[in-house]
Amino acid sequence: MKYALIIPDGAADEPQQSLGGLTPFQAACTPHMDAVAVAGVVGSANHVPASMPSGSDVGTMSLFGYDPLEFHTGRAPLEAAAQGIQLGPDDWAIRCNLVTVNDGKMKSFTAGQIPSDIGQGLIAGLQRTQCGGRSWKYYPGVSYRNLLIYRSHDGPAPFSAQTTSTPPHDVTDCEIAPYLPSGPGADELRQLMDGSVSLFAADQANVARGEQAATQTWLWGQGCRPALTPFEDRFHVRTAVITAVDLLRGMGRLLGWDIVDVVGATGYLDTDYAAKGRAAISSLADHEFVVVHVEAPDEASHEGVAEEKVKALERIDQDIVGPLHEYLRKQGEYRLLLSPDHPTYLRTKTHSHGNVPVAACGQGIEPDAAVAYNDVTAAASSLIFEQGCHLMPWFLGRN
């Protein structure tokens, strides 16, 4: 048996006036996703508990079958794992965005998709000026996405589960003051953020970008190393994951998955969808399960552009769902699952709570009456996973 999961990140949404009152799923031409619905079942799943902040760190952990209320410690430790950064039992990882704040408001949580070479120069400057001791170290990433690691050499870290922070993409166009870190250790985080302002203002390559220049760091997503049982030990399938996002790479590493690098996969709207589809098919030659994650719908929502979200869904359908489903049907027994990790509303440009549409077909899945895969069809279904972490055991037949 071969298994495949396709994750259109943040694709679930509300009806849009600009789309004639349709959701992006309804407005998109997705014959291959609809074919999965016709061949199988459509339902819904809630991957983000109401008590937790909505995001892919929580949503994908649930989607992969791990209760985030039990296992989630923070977003940054997952990204640290993606970079091969080992965390000790008392070490903490913190996500470090390069952002643009003007007049006290978050104008861009990506500093205008800052080029990696400029971003890396800023991170190097922070390392020189802010990290004279042994405890702190910055790690450059791609574009605006970076990490800050706290090493607990001489005792416990200043942070705890009561330390709170807010993802910068959740405060676009908002005053930042109410969303700054709070709780244990927050003073240190805020001092580091404040200290980045003058450094960034003095960096010529950064300032030359004008209104898109990074003005400071934004520290968030802190956490210690999670204790996750390897996926193969739980579900007895060897898995490969295809993603351009460090968060998913890190989750995969912690679960014992093989990470498949795809040339042209960007984690943005310009990603090479067809290359991801081809890589998924190739991965099934020596894996029982392949997970394909596509960030593009989520990025379109963060930018508030409904038409781009529709286009992203159509490309996922054409270049990933269609070819992969055709291969699975030809090779023998299979199961195919479609599910976002969380809703991301175009209206708010932020991640949200709520159910997402799910579709599954294949061996042993008795078809229902659904003829289309979208939010509205899913909401009318009686197949509901109130705890999204129960979806994966159901899909893999490991209830």
Q: State pLDDT tens for residues 100-112.
A: 999 999 999 999 9
Length of the chain equals 399
* Alpha-carbon gap, residue 121 to 145, rounded angstroms: 13
Please answer whether residues 93 and 79 qualify as being in contact, where contact means their C-beta atoms are separated by less than 8 angstroms: yes
pLDDT band at 98 (very low <50, low <70, confident <90, very high): very high
Neighbours of 243 (CB within 10 A): 28
Pairing of strands 334-338, 258-260: unpaired
Q: What share of the chain is helix, strand, coil (3-state, %, to 5)?
A: 40, 20, 40
pLDDT band at 192 (very low <50, low <70, confident <90, very high): very high
The C-alpha atoms of residue 343 and residue 202 are separated, in whole angstroms, by 39
Tokens of 134: 């042994």
- pLDDT digit string, tens, across residues 368-398: 999 999 999 999 999 999 999 999 999 999 8
Nearest to 221 by CA among 9, 70, 73: 73
Q: What is the pLDDT of residue 138?
A: 96
How far, in Å, are 245, 269, 304, 378 from residue 309 at the CA level? 18, 9, 9, 19
Report DSSP state, residue 141.
E
* CA of residue 29 relative to chain centroid, distance: 24
Helices (H) and strands (E) in the chain, counts: 16, 15
- Mean pLDDT to the nearest integer, 308-333: 98
Residue of 115, 112, 165, 145 whose CA lies nearest to 303? 112
Encode pLDDT of 31-65 as tens digits: 999 999 999 999 999 999 999 989 999 999 999 99
Q: What is the pLDDT of residues 114-145, one digit of tens each?
A: 999 999 999 999 999 998 778 999 999 889 99
pLDDT at 300 over 90: yes
Report the alpha-carbon distance of residue 46 to residue 12 in Å, rounded.
Answer: 11
**pLDDT score of 156:** 86
Q: Which sequence spans correspond to the domains of the chain?
A: 2-70+228-395, 82-223
- CA–CA dist 387, 242 (Å, integer): 25
Name the maximum alpha-carbon separation found in the chain: 63
Q: What is the pLDDT of residue 133?
A: 73
Fold classification of 2-70+228-395 is: Alkaline Phosphatase, subunit A (3.40.720)
Q: What are the tens digits of pLDDT across the range 81-96?
A: 988 999 998 999 999 9
Q: How far apart are CA 145 and CA 167, in angstroms?
A: 12
Tokens in use for 23?
């959701």
